[in-house]
């Protein structure tokens, strides 16, 4: 036996006070009688000794002293040792996304926590509790906690994850812990069917469920604002006919729907098309309900919905450029290529891209990216290039792609075919006095350049006519380079607007960026480093992430939808084995008994009641 709070024995100081009160308290009481005859008659009885009354007072004092001793002892909290009655428990709780499957109104994760809670509550006092959880990371949440209330409180604070957990890492952590504590008992709480378990008892919380899912959902724009959504639908446990619906910009009524017949475990393609003018987001949902809703919907975002992505075409022959921008989902306005039609003061702040074809403005725009297509003259020094002369070739000459392996060159020439030929009959010799990247050469002269102008905005220069004097616009490489340059001109904060939970999200830090903030679906905010061109952020939740970048030109916002990992969609998946390597000892831990709270309360009530009765008697007999 040991005392947790020895200072509780200071309560024994109350014993001398009880004895002092017993000695000095009055033994006589004032009484009113009806006549002196009765008083005289009673003297004969008063002269007799009444030892019972005296013994009663002493017994009361002894009882009070005894109760004070017991209360002081209880306050000191004695703990009794029970040899070999307690155990060391180690729980491994699967926190993967599939554990959020809901059955009978309770998630599998909550059911697993309830199993652990019951085992902790029923364990012998003196047992220790260790908890390993899997999820975003595999962590030992608590280690050898011997207080049940503390263990239950820490267990209650554990939250499920949205990623595919790694039980192998948990098994390695449990093995290391077994080396420290050979007498520990291990329990794995999961919804996976573990075929072979070593040194661990598996508690499976899976049941009969239904799960539908969407994957590979994309959209494309066709001519005349024709919007098409395609994807795959799944039903993992049984054959089903599913209704897939599309909602535009969070609307309540679907813009399109399709019925899909799905075979269990196999993908079924679906496609929906309709006319759509403008949109910011498309939410694709399965109408039917199931036990895991996290993979029933996907949100797609229009990267070009921001007004900053709008272009102004200054040209007298804008058809090809208009077609190219339309195909990429970029809205535009067109003005004629002359000083009367184009007035920068009238359009300032309205566009993210200015395209000048066969025309050169008097001054560079300062609020957006700039393309020069076959410029007729040079601009001022803020542009970074000069127009030297026009070169007319005797024969069609093949253009050469920059063979450099620099990151910028590879990014702007990605997906091009080095063997494919693009030819030109006439081009403009360009000079540069700013650091530009050359993408295409003709006889050693730069023909297509990309870089930043003096205002920090991106600039592209085509030293050739895209159609009349070259086949650049019609060639495979020309079209690919145009697409890459659009992506370069309107740099997306995030390359992909559709990722999977558990994957890293790469954020492209814009030029002159002062801060990048990421807001998760649950509302958590985190600021990323802007020191490098690319910042990475790990997705840990299912739903919509918002990325906001602040630059000298304003604010740029991108949204990303993080989907449930494919591996977590099979809700009753099998796990080949879970092994905790090592020898488990049969030795048990000493238990303890120290629950004296109720005894303390009873004794305290007795003391209070005794003194209350005494005080009441004194009051009544005054």
The residue-averaged pLDDT of 188-211 equals: 94
**pLDDT of 34:** 60
Higher pLDDT, 533 or 444: 444
Q: Torsion over CA of 611, 615, 616 and 620, rounded to 10 degrees?
A: 150
- 362: nearest Cα among 350, 373, 352, 345: 345
Q: CA-CA distance, 121 to 528, in Å (whole number)?
A: 43
What DSSP designation does 97 have?
G
Question: Residue 159: how many CB atoms within 10 A of its CB?
Answer: 9
pLDDT tens for each residue of 493-546: 887 777 999 999 999 887 678 899 999 999 999 999 988 878 999 999 999 999
Tokens of 19: 């004895």
Q: CA-CA distance, 361 to 342, in Å (whole number)?
A: 8
Q: Phi, psi at residue 210, to the nearest 5°? A: -125, 135
Assess whether pLDDT exceeds 90 at residue 165: no
What DSSP designation does 567 have?
G
Tokens of 530: 């802007």
In the three-class reduction of DSSP (H, G, I as helix; E, B as strand; rest coil), residue 473 is classed as: coil
Q: How far is CA 576 from the centre of its chain?
A: 29
Backbone torsion region of residue 456, taken as left when φ is above 0, otherwise alpha when ψ lies between -120 and 50, otherwise beta? left
Assess whether pLDDT exceeds 80 at residue 39: no
- 95: nearest Cα among 110, 105, 83: 110
Higher pLDDT, 454 or 20: 454
The residue-averaged pLDDT of 599-618 equals: 65
Q: Phi, psi at residue 91, to the nearest 5°? A: -100, 135
Q: CA-CA distance, 445 to 461, in Å (whole number)?
A: 13
- 547: nearest Cα among 586, 583, 507, 597: 507
The residue-averaged pLDDT of 563-583 equals: 90
Supply the mean pLDDT for the chain: 85
Q: CA-CA distance, 209 to 266, in Å (whole number)?
A: 17
pLDDT tens for each residue of 550-565: 877 678 888 999 999 9
For residue 504, the cross-strand partners are: 538
Q: CA-CA distance, 399 to 487, in Å (whole number)?
A: 22
pTM of the model: 0.68
Any idea which fold 498-566 has? Immunoglobulin-like (2.60.40)
pLDDT tens for each residue of 3-17: 656 776 676 777 787
Any idea which fold 83-208+571-593 has? Rossmann fold (3.40.50)
Q: CA-CA distance, 176 to 185, in Å (whole number)?
A: 14
Inter-CA distances, 21 with 25, 107, 130, 606, 622, Å? 6, 63, 53, 18, 19
**pLDDT of 356:** 95
**Which residue do the tokens 């679907």 mark?**
254
- 155: nearest Cα among 103, 108, 201, 120: 120
For 414, the enclosing helix (H) or strand (E) is none
Tokens of 520: 């998760």
Any idea which fold 307-489 has? Rossmann fold (3.40.50)
Beta pairing class for 226-235 and 525-528: unpaired
What is the pLDDT confidence band of residue 615, given thresholds at 50, 70 and 90?
low
For residue 401, the cross-strand partners are: 440
- 508: nearest Cα among 547, 555, 538: 547
What DSSP designation does 286 have?
E
Q: CA-CA distance, 141 to 386, in Å (whole number)?
A: 64
Question: 83-208+571-593 and 498-566: same fold?
Answer: no
Any idea which fold 212-301 has? Immunoglobulin-like (2.60.40)
Contact 184/586 with Cβ under 8 angstroms? no
pLDDT tens for each residue of 116-161: 999 999 988 888 999 999 988 999 999 999 889 999 999 999 999 9
What DSSP designation does 308 have?
G
Assess whether pLDDT exceeds 90 at residue 315: yes
The residues, any chain, with a CB within 8 Å of residue 356's CB and separated by 6 or more, are 314, 315, 337, 370, 371, 372, 373, 375
Q: CA-CA distance, 99 to 513, in Å (whole number)?
A: 40
Assess whether pLDDT exceeds 60 at residue 1: no
Helical pair 148-156 and 108-122, crossing angle rounded to 10 deg: 180
Q: CA-CA distance, 264 to 234, in Å (whole number)?
A: 7
**pLDDT of 57:** 62
Backbone torsion region of residue 100, taken as left when φ is above 0, otherwise alpha when ψ lies between -120 and 50, otherwise beta? alpha
Q: Within 13 Å, how many C-alpha atoms sit on residue 317's CB side?
A: 10
What is the pLDDT confidence band of residue 432, given thresholds at 50, 70 and 90?
confident
Assess whether pLDDT exceeds 80 at residue 54: no
Q: CA-CA distance, 410 to 94, in Å (whole number)?
A: 43
Q: Phi, psi at residue 607, to the nearest 5°? A: -60, -45
Contact 493/558 with Cβ under 8 angstroms? yes
In the three-class reduction of DSSP (H, G, I as helix; E, B as strand; rest coil), residue 283 is classed as: strand
> What is the per-residue DSSP string for 310-334?
-EEEE-SS-HHHHHHHHHTT--EEE
Tokens of 561: 């939808």
Tokens of 81: 């040792």
pLDDT tens for each residue of 456-471: 888 999 999 998 899 9
Higher pLDDT, 391 or 33: 391
Question: Residue 160: how many CB atoms within 10 A of its CB?
Answer: 22
Domain spans in the chain, listed from the N-terminal domain onward: 2-76, 83-208+571-593, 212-301, 307-489, 498-566
């Amino acid at each position: 036996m040991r005392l947790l709070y020895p200072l509780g024995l200071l309560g024994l100081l109350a014993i001398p006070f009880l004895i002092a009160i017993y000695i000095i308290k009055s033994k006589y009481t004032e009484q009113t009688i009806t006549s002196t005859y009765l008083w005289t008659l009673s003297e004969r009885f008063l002269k007799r000794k009444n030892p019972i009354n005296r013994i009663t007072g002493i017994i009361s004092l002894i009882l009070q002293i005894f109760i004070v001793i017991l209360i002081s002892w209880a306050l000191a909290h004695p703990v009794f040792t029970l040899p070999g009655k307690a155990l060391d428990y180690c729980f491994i709780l699967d926190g993967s996304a599939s554990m959020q499957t809901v059955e009978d109104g309770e998630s599998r994760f909550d059911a697993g926590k309830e199993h652990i809670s019951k085992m902790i509550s029923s364990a012998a006092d003196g047992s220790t509790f260790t908890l390993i959880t899997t999820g975003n990371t595999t962590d030992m949440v608590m280690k050898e906690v011997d207080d049940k209330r503390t263990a239950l409180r820490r267990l209650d604070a554990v939250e499920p994850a949205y990623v595919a957990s790694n039980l192998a890492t948990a098994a390695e952590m449990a093995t290391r812990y077994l080396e420290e504590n050979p007498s520990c008992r291990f329990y794995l709480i999961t919804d996976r069917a573990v075929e072979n378990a070593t040194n661990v008892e598996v508690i499976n919380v899976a049941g009969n469920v239904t799960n539908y899912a969407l994957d590979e959902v994309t959209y494309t724009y066709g001519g005349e604002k024709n919007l098409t959504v395609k994807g795959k639908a799944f039903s993992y446990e049984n054959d089903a006919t599913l209704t897939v619906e599309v909602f535009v910009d969070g609307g309540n009524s679907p813009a399109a729907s399709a019925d899909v017949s799905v075979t269990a475990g196999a993908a079924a393609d679906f496609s929906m098309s309709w006319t759509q003018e403008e949109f910011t987001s498309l939410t694709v949902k399965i109408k039917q309900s199931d036990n895991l809703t996290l993979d029933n919907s996907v949100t797609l975002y229009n990267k070009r919905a921001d007004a900053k992505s709008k272009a102004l075409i200054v040209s007298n022959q804008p058809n090809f450029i208009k077609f190219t921008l339309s195909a990429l989902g970029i809205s535009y306005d067109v003005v004629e290529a002359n000083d009367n039609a184009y007035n920068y003061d009238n359009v300032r702040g309205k566009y993210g891209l200015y395209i000048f074809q066969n025309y050169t403005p008097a001054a560079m725009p300062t609020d957006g990216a700039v393309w020069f297509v076959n410029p007729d003259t040079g601009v001022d020094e803020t542009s970074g290039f000069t127009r030297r002369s026009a070169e007319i070739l005797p024969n069609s000459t093949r253009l050469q792609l920059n063979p450099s392996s620099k990151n910028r060159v590879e990014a702007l020439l990605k997906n091009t075919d080095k063997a494919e030929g693009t030819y030109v009959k006439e081009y403009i010799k360009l000079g540069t006095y700013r650091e530009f990247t050359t993408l295409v050469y003709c006889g050693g002269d730069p023909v297509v350049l990309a870089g930043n102008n003096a205002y920090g905005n991106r600039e592209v220069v085509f030293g050739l006519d895209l159609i009349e004097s070259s086949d650049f616009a019609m060639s495979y490489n020309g079209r690919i380079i145009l697409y890459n340059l659009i992506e370069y001109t309107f740099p997306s904060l995030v390359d992909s607007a559709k990722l999977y939970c558990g994957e890293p999200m790469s954020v492209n830090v814009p030029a002159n960026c002062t801060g990048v903030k990421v807001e998760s679906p649950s509302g958590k905010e985190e600021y990323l480093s802007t020191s490098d061109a690319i910042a990475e952020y790990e997705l840990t939740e299912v739903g919509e992430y918002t990325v906001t970048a602040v630059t000298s030109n304003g604010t740029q916002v991108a949204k990303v939808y993080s989907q449930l990992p494919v591996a977590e969609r099979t809700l009753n998946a099998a796990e080949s084995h879970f092994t905790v390597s090592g020898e488990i000892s049969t030795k048990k831990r000493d238990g303890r008994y120290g629950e004296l709270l109720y005894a303390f309360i009873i004794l305290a009530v007795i003391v209070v009641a005794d003194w209350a009765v005494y005080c009441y008697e004194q009051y009544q007999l005054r």
